[in-house]
A and B are shown apart, each in its own frame.
Chain A
Amino acid sequence: MTPQTHRDLSVAPADLRKACDSLSLAFERSDELPTSTTLLGQQRAIDAIRFGIQMANDGYNVVVLGRPGSHRHGLVDELVYEQATQRSPPRDWCYVNNFTDPERPGALHFDAGEGGIFRDAMHRLIEEMKLAIPAAFEGDDYRSQLRAIEEKTEEEVAEQWRTLEDLASDHDIHVLQTPTGYVLAPVEDGKVLDDKEFEKLPQERQKKIEQSMQELTEELQKRIEMMPKLRKRHRERVKALDRQVMEHSVSTLLLEVKTHYETMPHVLSYLNAVEHDIIENAQNFRQTETPALPFLSMDHGEVLRRYEVNLVVDNRKAREAPVVYEPNPNYPNLIGRVEHRAEMGALVTDFRMIRGGALHQANGGYLVLDLHRLFSRPFSWDGLKQALLAKRLRIESPGEAYGWVSTTTLKPEPIPLDIKIILIGERWLYYLLCLYDHEFSGLFKVAADFDDDISRDAGTVDDYARLIAQHVAEKELLPFTRGAVQRVIEQQARHADDGEKLSMDMRALDDLLLQSDYWAQQRGVGCVDVEDVTTATEKHRRRFDRLQTNILDAITRDTLLIDTSGACVGQVNGLSIIDLGQFRYGHPVRITATTRIGTGDVVDIEREVELGGKIHSKGMLILSSGLTSRYAPEVPLSLHGSVVFEQSYGGVEGDSASVAEMCALLSSLSRAPLKQGIAVTGSVNQLGRVQAVGGINEKIEGFFELCRKRGLDGTHGVIIPADNVKHLMLRDDVVAAVRDGSFSIYSVAQVDEALSLLTGMEAGSRGDDGAFPEGTVNARVEAQLIRYAKLRKAFAEPDKRDDRNDDGQ
């Protein structure tokens, strides 16, 4: 290849880093710019979110897709709050005791703010009852009625014994009382007879006494049996009186509350149940007895708490629909829970220990959740889906929901659910859900896909400058000079891996702004300038470049063998990239190829030992196929080639080395040495077209670092795909080296161009006769393949094996 060709393929310095010179806004410092706009460049996502949150129909929940740091949360907040302000605050919800089935507490709803009022009203009511009801039972009226009942019963009891005693007296018998019963004793002259006196009585008298005793025994037993009935009758009379007093007291006290809620049948129904329960359990308000065992003491206040109101959703202070973000969406935080307390070694609960979850708090509004957090909390996803599908919010533990536990616990009445869910997550999770969860697509019909970057044109650059100004102002940083703003924009293009794009990674932007501000403050200046942004970038790289430095060190100490001068057959410098999350770097890797006669296969050693990934293997197979179709198509491919990444022990993925691998193979076949001062990156298709690859800037800079360390002499350079030129956003020092001719970047569209650059020879195109020009690399490749084919044929025909000696080299 001639020097002229070299120049044709060289990338002009101006194309190595697209400077931010299209900024049309007139400003010297960022604080002169009007602040704007967090909604920059995400119109598709914005439209989708607005559509999703405005659609009232079922299933139009929203999944916001995008990379972390793309300001998804901020944008969602902004749009959802904007929508929420147009809606009224939703209902309050309370849980109350279910007096007929305490295990199933009832749910009551009120207009926003009314739940707290109802709770307070019930609390005051019970406090009043605690005073008013005992007072009613202590009043003279009650006491006199009770006394009348007691007297009546006393009279009935006395009447029973009086008639018995009268009867006994007629038969000269006394009824004696012992502590536990009664004894019939015969009397004579008013005195109870003893055995001696009885013996002295005439036989006839004795018999009569015994006969009378027998008769009175029956009468006595009748009366003994009558006593429990009389006592029961007495209790019933007292209870009826108590009930009458209670009904009057309770209905009087409840009247005001009932009147207030007379238009709310469900509340009125609850109040009627409260009234009935209080009347039925009047003793709760009158209890004064101390139990036999102190630990059996029932807390009087505790008993009355059954009438309390558990306000689980309180929208008293709300002025619009709720927007809730739950950072820890575990099952209880999401669905709610029933808490327990330990009492004498047992866990007990009641309706007052029901706690609402984020779904309760956001009911009637919007709930924002992080998708990956939702999935990293067991059962949360299923719980959420269950609630959305049923459109009801049922509080139950996962154990109950999945049927693992059968212990009795509360089953609170489900609450109707009217909510808009906004999930924020990454795309891969969304696509997995679409693929594997058949309910997902029906529940989340709106996807708002955030662009990772935006086009870099005059309009967006101005908007981006305003965005930078806004972030600087929000974070109260030093103002950025015009040059610093331009530098930040350039750096965001670099972050996007594309000179024609701007990254929408707002986290990276903020980091760069903050760090630039830090370095400016270190300098003690009042503005952030270009050098601060550059320092921030360099320092950032420096903090993370330990591994890169180690690799460079290993290469310069010839531990990792990379030649950067001279030429070698079957050996080329490829470029690989290492991604450490916050930092990526490129470094050269030696690729070698060997060829010999064979059966038409090219062995990828990486694949053979399972160090090669699928994409890499695919690249190798494309390369093999390209080789087959490109050279000597009419003769069987009788080649055995092998390609390997030397000193690579950690696996290889991607097809970005396939141009280098092809060049190494062709060099081996053609015996044309390849320049070691030039590294190659790019993938190749079956037709020899070179295709774009990722990490182009880091790869170039990685090889540049090594060459600079060894001394740039003008022979060094990198071959990249022509389609990657638009992605170039190289460092200033690389651009400067290219500008002064000590380093070169070549862009190629065909593998032949790369081959020419690497060998310094004409690659050669087929002429009208279908043959490659004599002496070109391709002619030598084809000649070698034909020779291999002949040799192979000769091996297959032993009689002609001597031909090998004729043609052999």
Chain B
Amino acid sequence: MTTDSDRRRIVIALTETSPVPRLWHAAMARHAESPADLLTLFLQDERWLRAASLPFTREFPRSGGRPTEFTHERAREVGQETARQAKRLIEQLADKAKTRVIFETVLQPDRGRLIELIGEYQSILIAHDAITALPIYVHLVELGCHIELIGSPADNDEEEHGSPEDD
């Protein structure tokens, strides 16, 4: 019989800008210390959709250049594509590590779904420190899980979305 204490999860909380490999490795380090189910939680940022509804919202490219209109379609497209890329990357990393991982996508305000996935477990949540700026961070804290924040790499932002072989 499985008890609550056995229901442990290591949750990798990803957003659209998270450094996936770094968070994965942090999670794997935890997993090595104390094996548990692995869950990747992709938190779609609802603020994009809200901001995109405003007519004057512009997206400023990180690499510089002319800002472009940030439409609802663009926000959704970016969200979906980012989630797909994150999933693919996590699957590759899991293959390489010969381990199994669950991938779930959650729209940030969906608190019920968060409780279902995290709140019912003894969870260690590993996230990029940028997550603290998101409204959902408050909900995650409230769920009582242990949160481990990983800082940004120094050199450049592109590294955040590197391939699994980078390491």
Contacts and interface: CB of A to CB of B under 8 A. Distances in A.
B60 A221 contact: yes
A158 B153 CA distance: 11
Interface stretch (B5-13, B42-50, B97-105, B139-147): B42-50
B161 interface: yes
Interface stretch (B31-39, B61-69, B118-126): B61-69
Nearest to B78: A178
Nearest to B62: A181
B17 A179 contact: yes
Contacts of B51: 176, 183-185, 192, 194
A157 interface: yes
A193 B54 CA distance: 8
Interface stretch (A226-234, A464-472, A496-504): A226-234
A598 to B, nearest CB: 108
Contact of A182 (B59, B151, B161): B59
Contacts of A149: 154
Contacts of A180: 59, 61-63, 78
Contact of A178 (B59, B130, B154, B156): B59
Contact residues of A: prevailing secondary structure: helix
B116 interface: no
A150 to B, nearest CB: 4
A153 B130 CA distance: 17
Contacts of A234: 154-155
Interface string A206-221: 0000100100010011
Nearest to B161: A179
B64 A224 contact: yes
A568 B65 CA distance: 121
Contacts, number: 106
Contacts of A157: 152, 154
Contact of A194 (B53, B67, B157): B53
> Which of B67, B78, B151, B152 lies at the interface centre, i.e. has the most chain A CB atoms within 10 A of its CB?
B67
B52 to A, nearest CB: 8
Contacts of B17: 177-179
Contact residues of B: prevailing secondary structure: loop
Query: How many A residues touch the partner, as a band?
Result: 35 or more
A184 B57 contact: yes
A807 interface: no
A646 to B, nearest CB: 97
Contact of B155 (A150, A210, A217, A221): A150
Contact of A186 (B54, B67, B151): B54
B16 interface: yes
A192 B135 CA distance: 10
Contacts of A220: 60
A194 B54 contact: yes
Given A182-B62, A186-B54, A210-B56, A174 B154 contact: no
B58 A174 contact: no
A210 B62 CA distance: 22
Nearest to B55: A195
Given A191-B135, A193-B50, A290-B165, A182 B155 contact: no
A192 B59 contact: no
B54 A179 contact: no
Interface in A429-473: none
Given A165-B133, A182-B62, 5 more contacts: A154-B151, A178-B78, A185-B57, A191-B50, A198-B54
Interface of B: 16-17, 45, 47-51, 53-64, 67, 70, 78, 81-82, 130, 133, 135, 151-157, 161, 165
16 contacts: A151-B154, A154-B154, A176-B51, A179-B16, A180-B78, A181-B60, A182-B59, A182-B60, A183-B51, A192-B47, A193-B54, A194-B50, A194-B51, A194-B54, A196-B53, A217-B60
Interface of A: 149-151, 153-154, 157-158, 165, 174, 176-186, 190-196, 198, 210, 213, 217, 220-221, 224-225, 227-228, 231, 234-235, 290
Q: Which 4 A-B pairs have the closest CB atoms?
A: A185-B51, A150-B154, A195-B53, A194-B50
